Amino acid sequence: MAAIVAYYISEIAGIKHTISTADIERYFKQAAFKLPKKIQQTLPNAAAAGYFEAEGNGAYRLNPVGYNLVVHGLPRPHGTGEPRRTRRKKSQSKRRTK
């Protein structure tokens, strides 16, 4: 969810390119999303997971991994964007006998 907030702030709204704990709190509340128990650890944990880079003074920037997660890795709401391609299951060439 923090990556979605960072993507929104930087790419959709164009407000700024970094995110802080105050942004997490503000936009989580605005989206009616449950606040983390330790909100001050949300961005450091997301950075440790590889989605953000620390910019200093508690600010973080969404890195390419986080960007790709939001744009390409999350499910899309029904009826928006291009449909995802699904893989066909391989047919069984031999049937098992009992």
Report if residue 43 sits inside a domain.
Answer: yes
pTM greater than 0.75 (yes/no): no
Give the pLDDT confidence score for residue 75 in this predicted structure.
76
Report if residue 87 sits inside a domain.
Answer: no
Report if residue 48 sits inside a domain.
Answer: yes
- 7-33 burial, b at 16+ Cβ within 10 Å, e below that, comes to bbbbeeeeeeebbbbebbbebbeeeee
Report if residue 11 sits inside a domain.
Answer: yes
Give the pLDDT confidence score for residue 11 in this predicted structure.
82
Mean pLDDT by 10 residues, the chain (98 residues): 90 88 93 92 94 92 91 72 55 59
Q: For the chain, what is the domain count?
A: 1
Give the pLDDT confidence score for residue 82 in this predicted structure.
56
Give the pLDDT confidence score for residue 66 in this predicted structure.
92
What range does the domain containing 42 cover? 2-55
